[in-house]
Structure 1
């Protein structure tokens, strides 16, 4: 078996631990401690986050979209395919090293998706971006931590608590969609979204493109009204 090779490390902000970028053959993973956060072999649910959202937008040809978390670029690439030439896609990534890896060590995974003229990468906490926005976005896609039940940073909980959902609601245009990826179910999250005023769909999707394997959860929460 081909051994794993450590390519680089990066510290999480706020003392959240050390990220490790590793490669085995053509497979890449990003780990935090013993937890595997991302794997280049598993892209199905991250792609679904974008395609399911785009299908619910009123005007995907010219939508303004915010993606929280660059990851390995699967959601970004899917958004580029699903949205039109007039769209604007902002990606907020908290860890600068992840952006550097995308342009360097993980270039075989990312390809040229960061060169798309519609894309702006913000090296920032997505929560800060959301809180500064008022009725700006047609969609906000969150693939941060492990979903509402976070593992990596306690600060990420603020994205998914009552105030965080209120902030996301305010950042969306009427008719806009908040899409949230999670590695597993969370019985309290759908009621929380509804209390804020969202109309909510909860769906289960495959982690990869095969017939077997893990399944992840995506919430699609729409702010009522006409944009």
Structure 2
């Protein structure tokens, strides 16, 4: 039996600074594998995408009674959360994606275009280059779901300002921005009991789901939290 040909070394495709951090994002390719890294730390790869897909598919399945649901996604990444949301939502839904780094949007239309398909041109989609925190603060009860896949979750790697999404004030703002019965979905690279308790403390009913990143039995297991704003009462 002839062994498979090794994919070869990683090839650097592009780099971009992350605003206000001094850190740099790198896009690399090795055969059919793509990786976005900060320094030597991998933020995401197209090989491990099941948890990003599950973040959207689980949340949107709970919004089936809202045909005009408005979804905010924090972080464009490689588009797996966006594509899963579009697959689960109807034609009257709307999806706003906030991406801080302009180069990530350029990669989505360039070297990663095959991963995005036609999702960026879907009439339901609006891409906003900017901080998702500003959109969360843009008004009360604007979104039926807020899905955050930003900076590896509550234990951030790249930008101290991202902590504002996950601290007590960030959770209060998210609660305010959600409709009653709305969902705050958060992706994390690892469990965090304190953060889960913080979600409950700030008015959310919480479900925790653990998903294998690659769908196999031995891949890394990521954590998804789904915080539901109560239908009645302020819940704060």
Shorter-chain TM-score tier: over 0.9
Deviates more, 1:49-58 or 1:155-164: 49-58
Could you list the per-position Cα deviations for residues 69-99 of structure 1 after superposition, in whole angstroms to 9, with x for gaps in the alignment?
0010000000000111110000000000000
Q: How does 1:145-224 map to 2 (within 5 A)?
A: 145-224=151-230
Query: What is the TM-score of this pair, normalised by structure 1?
Result: 0.97
Alpha-carbon separation, structure 2, partners of 1:218 and 1:15? 26
Alpha-carbon separation, structure 2, partners of 1:185 and 1:16? 28
Could you list the per-position Cα deviations for residues 156-181 of structure 1 after superposition, in whole angstroms to 9, with x for gaps in the alignment?
10100000000000000001000000
Could you list the per-position Cα deviations for residues 92-147 of structure 1 after superposition, in whole angstroms to 9, with x for gaps in the alignment?
00000000100112112212111111000000100111011210100000000010
What secondary structure is seen at the aligned counterpart in 2 of 1:62? coil
What secondary structure is seen at the aligned counterpart in 2 of 1:61? coil
Could you list the per-position Cα deviations for residues 10-36 of structure 1 after superposition, in whole angstroms to 9, with x for gaps in the alignment?
000013411111111111101100100
Deviates more, 1:56-65 or 1:40-49: 56-65
Question: 5+ unaligned residues in a row in structure 1: which ranges?
Answer: none
Kindly indicate whether the alpha-carbon contact (under 8 Å) linking 1:22 and 1:28 is maintained by their aligned counterparts in 2.
Answer: yes
Matched, 1:29 2:35: yes
What secondary structure is seen at the aligned counterpart in 1 of 2:25? strand
Kindly indicate whether the alpha-carbon contact (under 8 Å) linking 2:21 and 2:158 is maintained by their aligned counterparts in 1.
Answer: no
Q: Which one of 110, 113, 117 corresponds to residue 107 of structure 1?
A: 113
- The two structures, once aligned, show a CA RMSD in angstroms of 1.1
Deviates more, 1:8-17 or 1:162-171: 8-17
Q: 1:58 to 1:225 in 2, by over 3 A?
A: farther
Kindly indicate whether the alpha-carbon contact (under 8 Å) linking 1:173 and 1:223 is maintained by their aligned counterparts in 2.
Answer: yes
Offset, 1:61: 2.5
Matched, 1:7 2:13: yes
Please name the residue that 2:98 is paired with: 92
Alpha-carbon separation, structure 2, partners of 1:99 and 1:38? 15
Query: What is the TM-score of this pair, normalised by structure 2?
Result: 0.93
Rg bigger for which structure? 2
Kindly indicate whether the alpha-carbon contact (under 8 Å) linking 2:141 and 2:179 is maintained by their aligned counterparts in 1.
Answer: yes
Matched, 1:75 2:86: no
Kindly indicate whether the alpha-carbon contact (under 8 Å) linking 1:127 and 1:159 is maintained by their aligned counterparts in 2.
Answer: yes
Question: 5+ unaligned residues in a row in structure 2: which ranges?
Answer: 1-5
Please name the residue that 1:225 is paired with: 231
Alpha-carbon separation, structure 2, partners of 1:214 and 1:60? 33
What secondary structure is seen at the aligned counterpart in 2 of 1:65? strand
